Chain A
Amino acid sequence: MQIDLSVIDITKKFDEFTAVERVSFEVNQGDFFSILGPSGCGKTTLLRMIAGFTEPTAGTIYIRGNDMAGIAPNKRPVNLIFQQLALFPMMTVEENIAFGLQRRRENKADIRKKVRAILDRVELPGFGEKQIDQISGGQKQRVAIARCLVLNPTVLLLDEPLGALDLKLREQMKVELKKLQAQVGTTFIYITHDQSEALVMSDHVAVMNQGTFEQLDTPQNLYNKPQTPFVARFVGQNNAWSGTVHQGQERYHEIRTDEGLIFRTRAEEQLEPGQRVDLFLRPEAMLIQPDPGLTELNRFDVVVNSILFDGANSQLLVSPLNSRRELIVALPQNRQYDYIDEGDKIELGWDKDSGICFRER
């Protein structure tokens, strides 16, 4: 498979501050690749280096094997969709989309044809004559995408383009964007701080923190097999617990939490007895009142502090007995747990493969 973008050991320093530090990765042709990270982690700087707006301090960027060093943004085969979309308010929808083609001095009939085709593709036929301030947020989004896709870029860069939309529209655009990408087959590089956007749309996701990649993996692996505590905390919800290794055998270890609970869980790294560790447990990994027949489960008793009803995302806030630590537990809405009330004492259980622990850092 052809590699569209390859970034090797790229570093960007602003005076003393290092925004991006020795990041390397490759993106295959037709991939939907996301860079996920909290604000200020350097993801926008990385994107701007690929687009050509920022010169890297060190390292190289290759697009389809061509070194991009010293090539200006207007000469690169990449296009960027800005966070605020940056549609030209002084032009119509059609003029916006035709802008890039006109800069390439293509002939008028071709431009017309291509603009028509791309407007159909983003499902805005007949919108060409409209002014930018006459169309809605979701339509602006599609015009911005059309304006870049019409140029047929090798790589399309997207800088949190859904950030300005309201929740409902954002959910809808997520699906549309994924579909569109599958149709056109262009390589997308999408940056976001919203993990749900990254997980839903991407083939591969890189989790970025403080200028470096923590983990580059498929969405499933990021969620199920986080390799660092940061990824465990950042991707999806997680309950964190600190404790000490009691005894270890193969991949499973016995952990004694600070409350005195003993759990058996898996670890991705080598741990010695007495080692301080952080244990992570997903809210949906905990079973409420598990069947007594399941003997392999880690079991413990908790008190329900409050019930957060949110349809399919309903949760319980609970505390282990004699502890003030608060845990989040998923509450399935299948009417099986309707009897649970605030203040009740319930038993929770989880499988030793659902938790993951890391050496404390």
Chain B
Amino acid sequence: MKAFSGKLHIQWTLVCFLTPVVLWLSLLIVLPHIDLLLMSFRTEDDSGRLMWSLSNYMLFFREPIYWLTFVRTAVYSILVTFLTFVIALPVAFYITKVAAPRFQGFLTLLLLLPFWVSELVRVYGWMILLRESGVINHFLLKTGILDRPVEMLYNDVTMIMGLVYTSMLFMVVPLIGVLESLDDSLIEAAYDLGANMWSILIKIIIPHAVPGIVSGSIVVFMLTLGNYLTPNLMGGKNSLWFTEQIYNQFIASFNWNQGSAFGFLLLVLSSLVIWVGLKLTNQKLSKVVK
């Protein structure tokens, strides 16, 4: 009897702790997605009645503007992830191995600082700097390097720079984690055995950091793929992002069925790229997210 009540007690605490998670997942994520999935397979016929059909998905493949944007988004997201890694690795290495231990916390805080303001404000900050009448153009005109202001916004390069900037922290933090566990004497030993900086990086640092690189890359890739604000504001009309297509279907065309189909295509894309990435680096998802 006593054992039974004990068991019951444990089950109650389990229910207490699980309820918020289950509610969150089912009400806000699973249920809407099921609804969206159903919606994506339905379309209006000529008389305005809803019927089951694959036409939403067919349209995606028929119209080059859609699948080209889709491929562009995927390729650019991978590029952004790679660039973020290339920039974040030296930063993380400096913080963990080069900087004096008492400055490490301070430097990490400096990285965190921009994230205290919202992404919207940060993007507008970039726009103030880069636009035709912006700070940089003003400065270049004053010093005589340019004689006419140049529009630096609304192109792919600026947009990618903005996306990298937004993603930095999510790459640096996991990299700091793995690099802290790298024993300094391994680097010294490699150096002593005749390795130069490049081979130390390729043979010692990167193999050790793979779990951190993969988890950082997954986060950065997913955030970039699903980002709407930065591509929309900094890329403008010249740099289409697939999220903008989804937004247009939902808000501009009011075609929720089409929008849902695009949304699911994006979901499949991100899952696929991450799966391939994990296979290539020989990592397990459960290990990487830890």
Q: In the assembly, what is the distance between CA of A103 and CA of B192, in Å?
A: 11
Q: Say yes or no: is A330 at the interface (Cβ < 8 Å to chain B).
A: no
- B25 to chain A: closest CB distance in Å? 37
Tell me which residues from 61 to 99 in chain A have a Cβ below 8 Å from any Cβ of chain B: 72-75, 79-80, 82-84, 86-90, 99
Whether B195 and A99, one on each chain, are in contact in the complex, defined by CB atoms closer than 8 angstroms, is yes
Contact partners of B203 in chain A: CB under 8 A = 88, 99
Task: Assess the A99–B193 pair: CB atoms within 8 A.
Answer: yes
A319 CB to nearest B CB, Å? 47
Interface size class of A (residues with CB under 8 A): 20 to 34
Query: Contact between A74 and B189 (Cβ–Cβ < 8 Å)?
Result: no
User: Once bound together, how far apart are the Cα atoms of A148 and B191, in whole Å?
Assistant: 12
Check A74–B204 contact: CB distance below 8 A: no
Does the CB pair A74–B207 fall under 8 Å?
no
- Say how far A173's CB is from chain B's closest CB, in angstroms: 19
- Tell me the dominant secondary structure on chain B's binding face: helix
Given contacts A84-B185, A86-B185, A88-B186, contact A79 B208 (CB under 8 A): no
- Chain B residues whose C-beta falls within 8 Å of the C-beta of A201 in the assembled complex: none
Quick one: given A84-B183, A88-B204, A90-B208, are A99 and B190 in contact (CB under 8 Å)? yes
The binding surface of chain A is classed by DSSP as loop
A14 to chain B: closest CB distance in Å? 14
Q: Are A90 and B188 in contact (CB under 8 A)?
A: no
B199 at the interface (CB under 8 A from A): yes
Measured CB to CB, the closest approach of chain A to B1, in angstroms, equals 49
User: Which of B186, B190, B194, B195 is packed against the most chain A CB atoms within 10 Å?
Assistant: B194
Q: Is A309 located at the chain interface by the 8 A CB criterion? A: no
Asked whether B143 is an interface residue with its Cβ less than 8 Å from the other chain, the reply is no
B189 touches A82 (CB 8 A): yes
Bound-complex Cα distance A80 to B193 (A): 8
Contacts of A99 in B (CB 8 A): 190, 193, 195, 203
How far apart are A95's CB and chain B's nearest CB, in angstroms?
Answer: 9
State A238–B134 Cα separation when bound (angstroms): 80
Contact A51 B192 (CB under 8 A): yes
Whether a CB of chain B sits under 8 angstroms from the CB of A283 is no
B286 interface residue (CB < 8 Å to A): no
Contact A73:B185 (CB < 8 A) given known A90-B207, A90-B208, A99-B203: no
Q: Which of B183, B186, B191, B199 contacts A73 (CB 8 A)?
A: B191
- Chain A residue numbers with a CB within 8 Å of B185 are 82-84, 86
Q: A90-B207, A99-B203 are in contact. Are A104 and B188 (CB under 8 A)?
A: no
A164–chain B nearest beta-carbon distance, Å: 12
Contact call A86/B195, Cβ cutoff below 8 A: no
Candidate in A86, A89, A147 with the most chain B CB atoms within 10 angstroms? A86
In the complex, A74→B183 CA distance in Å? 18
A87 to B204, CA, bound (A): 11
Are B195 and A74 in contact, with the CB atoms below 8 A?
Answer: yes
Contact among A74, A86, A151 with B196 in the assembled complex (CB-CB below 8 Å): A74
9 A-B pairs (CB sep. < 8 Å) = A51-B192, A53-B188, A73-B188, A74-B194, A74-B195, A80-B188, A82-B189, A103-B194, A147-B193
7 nearest CB pairs, A to B: A86-B189, A100-B193, A103-B194, A86-B185, A90-B207, A82-B185, A74-B194
